[in-house]
Structure 1
């Protein structure tokens, strides 16, 4: 069957009745993680909420004020997953999240337009597409594209938008001979009812279950961001349509204003300014490495030249690194001296090095790791690794100092 959302893609509210409601559990994405959520599967007499399919994500909205969290197609029916039960036979008012729906309509119709014109102009066939949250992509059956082709394609599709070309929907029976001439990437195995045809007048005729604009002018504009290497012998074309272009321009302008303030240059000089900064940072990093190495040698020599140095040495340096710690340990020597070094945030994560006689590392290493919430490996008198927290660094230092004092007195 064709749902009301497919018969009239612009309808935002709709009255219908509940056919069934049953307890259910689905996986939903929450902050990038999939979690199981309990709720109810609701089937309606008809719906304006599009069930996921044809490369287009499902709609969001409400049924009688109850939030709809997913909409999936099962054969000829749409199943709405909601967070509260609804009474069978109940008359309900549906509302669709129009901003999300119209965005999907613009991207989906934009994909049909780009696909058709790319094939007409360059012979590039579309093998799949993805409607992403921020940008959409079309997988084309070509390993590469030639210079200038994407610019020409963008100009051509935007001319079609300016030409105000209508987009219409037809419903054909599965045995209609006209279907043989219509572009398609295949029909679903559980197809039920007539075949839905999206016709962009004079541009493209294609089988599709998704929601679309009624005129190309409703796309406003299409921006092709470029291409990326896809799967074997494929190229992914990245594009934005309609409101996404406006949001992209707004975000880019906001970033540009921030960079003007940070770099103290006009936008046309940003690339040059960032390039200079990167080169300066590299020079400073190289100088910093040299200074840290020299400082490590001086620290070690100062300890070795101290006549009252004892058999324990400890140091914390926020800006050090592994080379800094190893240089100190190697310069002092740890055959008869226990050396405990840490670098990183004083109360946060960091790195550590315990360099000591093997007996000290063997007996104290496990406790050191526990106190530092650390992970590391020990070999030849060294225990080195990452510390989850340096908050108990002083406790580790006291523990090692006491151990060294006991060993000396013994």
Structure 2
């Protein structure tokens, strides 16, 4: 079946009749979590909402202002999943998310144009493409695409856009029509029924396609090939943007460039050099800081050992400390058979689960709202907060005073 969205991809609204509405479930992934939604599968006598297929995602839109969560094609029918029942034989007003639709039209037609030029000029066959990610990719069946070839393809594509070449859709009776063998394509679905669409970019290419497309290459506005990288099985992935996505990308890139100019104190053409210097300087400072922390740890233990009256416990907190700092302290204290309470990191704020500490008892762990486990006589863990350090120290001292013999580190 050829749906209205395929016959006129520019149509934004459509009045239709509900022919079927059946209870169903839909598996969705929201914020990385799988959920199952109870709802209804609705079939209409026609639709402007494109069902997923041919590498193009399904549309978003509404039926009688009810959001359509998924649209799939089953045989010759488009199945719309909604959460509310829409009675059979009732009238329905369909509205498409036009911004999403037009973006898909621009990217999809741009893909056809790039695919045709890459094939005609260099014999690079397209084996797949991906429009779902922010940057669109085309997989080409070649082990190498040079920068010069990319520039050639991009230049040719934008010349065709400026020439305002028409894009025409032709319907053929069904998939058995022998004429279809003349056209490029990756094949038809096994359950394909009804008319078969052929998309023709006038004078450039004709290919089997079920997706939504613009009617003239000028509506793409512009195409930018961003580069190519090695893909699977000795193939290359060409990355591109067209139309609205390209404009958005340029705007966001300029905003980032402006921010980096302020941070790096230099013009855009020097950003890479300035960023490289900044990273190297940061690494050097980090190395110096780590060395100084280790030296401080050794000095702190030396001061502890040289005290006229040695403390019954070793308690130390250093906000800028790290695991190396803790390890040096423990190494220098290896000959001191006393309880040790060492903490590092910020002393305020919940959720700081990256702050490590060593404590004497699980009760101290509770005071820190932390998690950990005992290993080789030491309790090691991560704290949710460290504002109860004084309470933890008091608990440790009370424990030591209550035990006249301390035979191991706890």
Residues 245-324 of structure 1 correspond to what in structure 2 (within 5 A)?
A: 245-324=246-325
* 1:109–1:212 CA contact under 8 A, matched in 2: yes
1:137 aligns with 2:137: yes
Which among 354, 359, 367 is matched to residue 350 of structure 1? 354
Deviates more, 1:249-258 or 1:28-37: 28-37
Residues 7-406 of structure 1 correspond to what in structure 2 (within 5 A)?
A: 7-172=7-172, 173-333=174-334, 335-347=336-348, 348-354=352-358, 364=361, 366-376=362-372, 378-406=374-402
Q: Measure, in 1, the Cα distance between the counterparts of 2:388 and 2:196.
A: 68
Deviates more, 1:259-268 or 1:377-386: 377-386
Q: Measure, in 1, the Cα distance between the counterparts of 2:335 and 2:152.
A: 69
Post-superposition offset of 1:242: 0.7
Q: Measure, in 1, the Cα distance between the counterparts of 2:293 and 2:224.
A: 49
Deviates more, 1:124-133 or 1:339-348: 339-348
* 1:124–1:142 CA contact under 8 A, matched in 2: yes
SS at match of 1:245: helix
* 1:340–1:354 CA contact under 8 A, matched in 2: yes
Post-superposition offset of 1:108: 0.7
* 1:171–1:195 CA contact under 8 A, matched in 2: yes
Post-superposition offset of 1:370: 4.9
| Count of aligned residue pairs for this structure pair | 402
Q: Give the structure 1 partner of residue 403 of structure 2.
A: 407
Post-superposition offset of 1:225: 1.1
Q: Please list every run of 5 or more consecutive structure 1 residues that lacks an aligned counterpart in the other structure.
A: none
SS at match of 2:190: coil
Q: Measure, in 1, the Cα distance between the counterparts of 2:264 and 2:163.
A: 43
Post-superposition offset of 1:202: 1.8
Deviates more, 1:46-55 or 1:384-393: 384-393
TM-score, scaled relative to structure 2: 0.92
* 2:370–2:382 CA contact under 8 A, matched in 1: yes
1:182–1:392: structure 2 CA closer, same or farther, 3 Å change rule? farther
TM-score, scaled relative to structure 1: 0.92
Q: Please list every run of 5 or more consecutive structure 2 residues that lacks an aligned counterpart in the other structure.
A: none
1:236–1:371: structure 2 CA closer, same or farther, 3 Å change rule? farther
* 1:350–1:389 CA contact under 8 A, matched in 2: no
Deviations 1:182-240 (A, max 9, x none): 11212111111121111111221111111011111111111111112211212111111
1:17–1:377: structure 2 CA closer, same or farther, 3 Å change rule? same
Post-superposition offset of 1:104: 0.4
Cα RMSD (Å): 2.0
Deviations 1:155-203 (A, max 9, x none): 1111111121111111112222111121121211111112111111122
Q: Give the structure 2 partner of residue 5 of structure 1.
A: 5
Post-superposition offset of 1:142: 1.8
